[in-house]
């Protein structure tokens, strides 16, 4: 009887597994894949990144760390003289020949703290703590979610064996906070992709699709006034009437969130994302910016919604699956 029960049980398990593998409502849609034991959650990568010095202009250690991370995974890597980093990952099984997608974020952060706080950003780690739904620095310093949130999501995608995606070109830039300097310096001829998802937006459910023009959609200004002067009057990022990437991301958004996204522009006289640096040199590129809700950036009160961070990562994975 035990033997017969066992024989009957095996087909039942196979049936359950086949049903599960046919379900596309999970992050890991490649049936039978196994994550590397060294792979971490996106938030764990965020915590790791927070240990590294990465004030604007001091990104070498963080760039070298990310380079080593990619080398261990066996990827093609290019690091330029400014420590911008390009990491290329092949498409998942069956998708190797598809057009690449560029995932882009900046390594550097604004280093700010209360005057009374004894913290050396060049040597002391930032320790994220979770209070309810919010992540903040343990000390009264900036958290670095701008743009550690985007870098850590990209790290998780690079490390995963269980996400369906086209070839990925991960572009991690430096000196964004003082005028998109690293992105303006980077040799865009190194890129093959013509679709770019920037992960430096700080308002969930807003899809940034251009910089301010008279006929553009709603404008979002995502930074505090005192942080704006140094990057005023940034390059233009023209809004594209025809954007297959935006159309796909809207479709996935509606399926994922069960609501409509806000299609927004950013006022390039007072704030910026690096799509502005690429727009003139990559005029055919189709670019959208997304990201989790982060409040009070560039200040010791900076905090990031953890649930928003996790949702945006899951949304990004769904986009990659459906591109």
Residue (of 202, 213, 205, 206) closest to 240 by Cα position: 213
State how far the Cα of 294 lies from the Cα of 21, in Å rounded to an integer: 35
Q: Which SS3 state, helix, strand or coil, does residue 305 take? A: strand
Count CA within 13 A, CB hemisphere, residue 172: 35
Catalytic residue among 176, 200, 204, 274: 176
Question: Is 108 an annotated catalytic residue?
Answer: yes
Q: Give the neighbor-by-neighbor strand order of the sheet with 303-305.
A: 128-131, 134-137, 303-305, 294-295
State how far the Cα of 31 lies from the Cα of 179, in Å rounded to an integer: 44
2-39 b/e (C-beta count within 10 Å ≥ 16 → b): eeeeeeeeeeeeeeeeeeeeeeeeeeebbeeeeeeeeb
User: What amino acid positions are annotated as catalytic residues?
Assistant: 108, 176
């Amino acid at each position: 009887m035990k033997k017969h029960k066992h024989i009957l049980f095996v087909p039942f398990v196979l049936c359950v597994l086949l049903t599960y593998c046919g379900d596309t409502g999970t992050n890991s849609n490649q049936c039978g894949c196994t994550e590397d034991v060294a792979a971490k959650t996106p938030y764990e990568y965020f915590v790791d990144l927070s240990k590294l010095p990465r004030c604007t202009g001091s990104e070498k250690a963080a760039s070298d760390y990310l380079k080593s991370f990619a080398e261990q995974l066996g990827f093609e890597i290019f690091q330029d003289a400014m420590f911008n980093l390009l990491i290329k990952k092949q498409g998942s099984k069956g998708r190797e020949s598809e057009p690449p997608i560029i995932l882009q974020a900046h390594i550097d952060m604004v280093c700010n703290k209360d005057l009374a706080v004894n913290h050396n950003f060049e040597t002391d780690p930032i320790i994220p703590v979770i209070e309810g739904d919010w992540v903040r620095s343990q000390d009264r310093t900036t958290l670095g979610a701008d743009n550690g949130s985007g870098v850590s999501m990209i790290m998780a995608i690079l490390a995963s064996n269980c996400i369906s995606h086209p070839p990925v070109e991960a572009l991690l830039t430096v000196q964004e906070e003082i005028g998109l300097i690293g992105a303006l310096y980077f040799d865009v001829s190194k890129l093959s992709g013509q679709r770019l998802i920037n992960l430096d937006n700080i308002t969930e459910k807003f899809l940034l699709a251009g910089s301010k023009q008279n006929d553009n959609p709603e404008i979002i200004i995502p930074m505090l006034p005192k942080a704006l002067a140094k990057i005023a009057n940034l390059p233009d990022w023209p809004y594209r009437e025809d954007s297959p990437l935006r159309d796909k991301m809207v479709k996935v958004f509606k399926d994922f969130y069960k609501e409509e996204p806000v299609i927004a522009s950013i006022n390039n006289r007072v704030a910026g994302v690096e799509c502005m640096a690429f727009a003139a040199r990559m005029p055919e590129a189709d670019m959208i910016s997304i990201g989790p809700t982060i409040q009070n950036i560039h200040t010791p009160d900076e905090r990031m919604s953890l649930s928003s961070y996790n949702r945006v990562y899951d949304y990004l994975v769904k986009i990659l699956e459906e591109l």
